[in-house]
Amino acid sequence: GAVVSQHPSWVICKSGTSVKIECRSLDFQATTMFWYRQFPKQSLMLMATSNEGSKATYEQGVEKDKFLINHASLTLSTLTVTSAHPEDSSFYICSARDQGGGETDTQYFGPGTRLTVL
């Protein structure tokens, strides 16, 4: 089946620094990718929808200048947490939408990236 990867799996950084997280669709092209944030035992909170070649659409309450999203190719979207602070520590999950044609329209999730800001 389709695979979505994220890199890095874990990242620890100092407060004030920026962190980039990559999301790749490995065997399909994804014109749309989604970025989520998850708190323990809670639902995934959609942060933004990333569309290849255009600006991301952010959910209400998500600071677009803090969470920069770039979807430069059909297989890669990046989330950059700028000037990270301890409250940004979380589990970030991406998903990629496979609209492979016909009736196929499935969302595949990545393994997540655990960010700890000291």
Stretch that binds another protein, among 24-32, 61-69, 78-86, 101-109 (CB under 8 A): 101-109
SS3 call for 16:
coil
Total Cβ atoms within 10 A of residue 43: 8
1 binds another protein (CB under 8 A): yes
Q: In the numeric block, which tokens belong to residue 85? A: 């602070």
54 binds another protein (CB under 8 A): no
Stretch that binds another protein, among 16-24, 63-71, 81-89, 106-114 (CB under 8 A): 106-114
Task: Give the rounded distance of the alpha carbon of 18 from its chain centre.
Answer: 15
Asked if omega into 111 is within 30° of 0 (cis), the reply is no
Stretch that binds another protein, among 12-20, 23-31, 72-80, 100-108 (CB under 8 A): 100-108
Q: Which of residues 24-53 bind another protein (CB under 8 A)?
A: 34, 36, 41-46
99 binds another protein (CB under 8 A): no
* Stretch 55-94: interaction string toward another protein, x if CB under 8 A: --------------------------------------x-
Q: In angstroms, what CA-CA distances link 14 with 17, 29, 82, 89, 115?
A: 6, 34, 11, 11, 11
